[in-house]
Amino acid sequence: MASKIPDSLHIVMAASEAVPYAKTGGLADVVGALSLALAKLGHQITLLLPGYGTRLPHRHRRVAMQFSVPVGGDPTDVSIEEEYVTVTGASHPVRVLFVCHAPYFDRLGLYQQDHRDYPDNLDRFSFFCRAVIQVLHVLVDRQREKLDILHLHDWQTALCAVYLKALSHEHTSLGSIKTLLTVHNLGYQGIFPGPEFMKTGLPSPLFSPSSLEFYGAVNCLKGGIIFSDAVSTVSPTYAREILTAEYGCGLEGVLAHRTGGVSGVTNGIDADVWDPARDAYLPAQYCADDRSGKRVCKRALQDELGLPGLDVPLLAVIGRLTFQKGFDLLLEILPELMGLDLQLIVLGAGDSHLEQQFTAAKEKYAQRIGLHLGFDEGLAHRIEAGSDMLIMPSRYEPCGLSQLYSLRYGTVPIVRRTGGLADTVVPFRPSTVTSGRATGFHFIDPSPDTLLSTILLALHVYGEQETWKALVTSGMNQDLSWDQSARNYVKLYHRLGVRGEERG
C-alpha cells in the first residue's frame, strides 16, 4: 500500500511556458522542473499552459472540459485538453491542462513573430487567465477537488490573481485558494495602452494607480503584485535589488509596500535532463571524476560550428540577445579578444541589431567565432559541455540558469555580480581558492574594460592546470538540484496558511 504523505498540497501552476512543451527561456525550465520536484515531494500538481497547437509535442491528449469565456462581450469557446505525466518517485502523476483556442495560441511564436510582439497579447493572456479561473471552478465546484495554491509566473498569468481576488464575490467557492506570484523578470511587465483596459473585462475602478494603472497604461504584473497573497522572485539578491530604483523598473514602490515583502527562492536545475553523464544530446558523456568525454565534446563542438580543432580556450555565450544580457559589452571587446589565442561560440536570438553585429563579427573572424542565430536546445547542451568558459555579462539577472548548467558541465562561468549570478557563482579569490570553494569569476562594473580584465584573469588561471581543475571540480560537485528550492517553495505556501491533507 502506498504510504500516506502528510500535508500534501494540491498546487495549481499557471504559466505561459514549461519544458518539454514550449520554451523561450529559463521560465520554461523552472516551471517544468519545479512541477516535477514538487510532485516528487508528494504534492499533487496541476499545470495549466496555453495550448500552443502545432508547436506542442505530438502526444495523446483528451478533451477534459469545454466552456466559453467572454471576449469583448462575446462568448468565446475554449477546450481544455489534458494529459498526465508520470514522475518517477512521485505518488501522483502531474496533470497538464492546455487552454486551447487556436486563433490565440496556435501561432508561430509564443509572444511575438519577426521580432514584433503580437498586437493582441493582452487579449490572449487575459483570455488565458480567465480560462484558468474557469478551470478552477470546474475542478472545485463540479469535480469536488480541494485546491490549495495557485502559483502564478510572470505577467502572462498575473491577471489570474486580479480576477480571483478583486472579484472574489464572483468566486466564493475558490475563496480558500491562496495565490503566489513568482516574478522571473521585472523587465517584462505586460504593459499595454490604457484604452485596452476594457479587454480585460475588469471593472473600470480597477484602472487606477492603486490597482492596474501605471502612468496611464495597463500593467498586468503590477496588478498581480498587488492582488496576490504573496510575491516571490528567483534569487535572494534579486529580491533585494528590485526594491531599488536601479532594478525595480518603476515597480520598486509597489513591491516595497507589499506586506510580507518579496521572498527570494533560487532556481534549481533538472538534474536528470542537465547531466553530462547521461545527456543524450552529447557526443560523449562524462562526470567530475572522469572528464575525458568533455574533450571529445569540445572537438565535436568545434567541428559542428566550423572552427578548427585547436587546443585553445573555448569561450561561449548562450542566451536571448537583449540589453539585459549585456552581450553588447562583449561585442565591444571583440577586437582585443580576437587578438588572443582563443575561440568564441555564440548561440542566441533576439534584437536584430545584436544579431547583425554578431553576424558581422563572424564574417570578420570566421576561424575564431562560431555563431548560431536561433533557438537550438541540443546545441545549448553541446555548448555547455564542449566549452571551457561561459560568459554572462548581464546588466541584471533574476537568477540565470545557463551558469548553473555550466557549473554542472565543468564549464567555468564568468559573470557580472548581480541577482542570481551573485548567489550561485563563488568568485575566484585567494580565500575561496584556498578553501576550495571558488567556482567562477565575478565582475561588478558593467563596462567593456572590466569584462575584458576579468576574461584575461580567467584565461591566466586556465593556464594554471591544477587551479583550473580545482575550479571545475568544485563547480561540478555543487548540489544544484531542485530538491531544496522546491522545499523552500513549500515553506512559502505554508506561510500563506494552507494546510494540506493526507493523501495516499
Interface with ligand ADP: number of residues (CB under 6 A)? 18
Using CB under 6 A as the binding rule, whether residue 188 contacts ligand ADP is answered as no
The listed partner (ligand ADP, ligand GLC, none) that binds 234, CB under 5 to 8 Å by sort, is: ligand GLC
Question: Which of 8, 185, 263, 474 contacts ligand GLC by CB under 6 A?
Answer: 185
Using CB under 6 A as the binding rule, whether residue 270 contacts ligand GLC is answered as no
The listed partner (ligand GLC, ligand ADP, none) that binds 320, CB under 5 to 8 Å by sort, is: ligand ADP
Q: How far is the CB of 218 from ligand GLC (least distance, A)?
A: 22
Q: Are 161 and 149 in contact (CB under 8 A)?
A: no
Question: Which of 268, 393, 400, 475 contacts ligand GLC by CB under 6 A?
Answer: 400
Using CB under 6 A as the binding rule, whether residue 322 contacts ligand GLC is answered as no
Which range binds ligand GLC by CB under 6 A, 21-29, 68-76, 124-132, 378-386?
21-29
Residues in region 381-400 near ligand ADP by CB under 6 A: 399-400
Instruction: Sheet with 314-321: list strands edge to edge.
Output: 369-373, 343-350, 314-321, 389-392, 412-416, 441-443
Per-residue burial over 424-456, b if 16 or more Cβ lie within 10 Å, else e, is: bbbbbeeebbeeebbbbbbbeebebeebbebbe
Contact string 452-491 vs ligand ADP (x = CB under 6 A): ----------------------------------------
Using CB under 6 A as the binding rule, whether residue 186 contacts ligand GLC is answered as no
Q: What is the DSSP letter of 396?
A: -
Question: Which of 391, 401, 459, 472 contacts ligand ADP by CB under 6 A?
Answer: 401
Q: Are 160 and 126 in contact (CB under 8 A)?
A: no
Q: What is the DSSP letter of 138?
A: I
The listed partner (ligand GLC, ligand ADP, none) that binds 377, CB under 5 to 8 Å by sort, is: ligand ADP
Distance CA 455, CA 332 (A): 13
Distance CA 414, CA 412 (A): 7
Which range binds ligand GLC by CB under 6 A, 135-143, 269-277, 394-402, 464-472?
394-402
Using CB under 6 A as the binding rule, whether residue 319 contacts ligand ADP is answered as yes
The listed partner (ligand GLC, ligand ADP, none) that binds 454, CB under 5 to 8 Å by sort, is: none
Q: Are 13 and 154 in contact (CB under 8 A)?
A: no
Strand runs labelled E in 184-221: 191-193, 213-214, 217-219
Using CB under 6 A as the binding rule, whether residue 397 contacts ligand GLC is answered as yes
Question: Which of 377, 445, 449, 464 contacts ligand ADP by CB under 6 A?
Answer: 377
Q: How far is the CB of 156 from ligand GLC (least distance, A)?
A: 12
Q: Are 305 and 370 in contact (CB under 8 A)?
A: yes
Using CB under 6 A as the binding rule, whether residue 412 contacts ligand GLC is answered as no
Using CB under 6 A as the binding rule, whether residue 16 contacts ligand ADP is answered as no
Question: Which of 36, 181, 389, 401 contacts ligand GLC by CB under 6 A?
Answer: 401
Residue 164 region, left (φ>0) first, then alpha (ψ -120 to 50), else beta?
alpha
Q: Are 394 and 415 in contact (CB under 8 A)?
A: yes
Beta bridge partners, 201, equal: none
Using CB under 6 A as the binding rule, whether residue 437 contacts ligand ADP is answered as no
Nearer of residues 90 and 371 to ligand ADP, judged by Cβ: 371
Using CB under 6 A as the binding rule, whether residue 363 contacts ligand ADP is answered as no
Q: How many Cβ atoms are within 10 Å of 59's Cβ, its own excluded?
A: 11
Cell readout for 314 is 573555448
Interface with ligand GLC: number of residues (CB under 6 A)? 14
Pairing of strands 191-193, 62-71: unpaired
Nearer of residues 242 and 401 to ligand ADP, judged by Cβ: 401
Closest CA to 181 of 95, 249, 260, 292: 260
Distance CA 283, CA 280 (A): 8
Q: Are 4 and 20 in contact (CB under 8 A)?
A: no
Nearer of residues 149 and 399 to ligand ADP, judged by Cβ: 399
∠59-65-70 over CA atoms, to 5°?
Answer: 120
| Residue closest to ligand GLC (Cβ) | 26
What residue ranges bind ligand ADP (CB under 6 A)? 25-27, 29, 318-320, 347-349, 375-377, 380, 399-402
What residue ranges bind ligand GLC (CB under 6 A)? 25-27, 30, 184-185, 234, 267, 397-401, 420
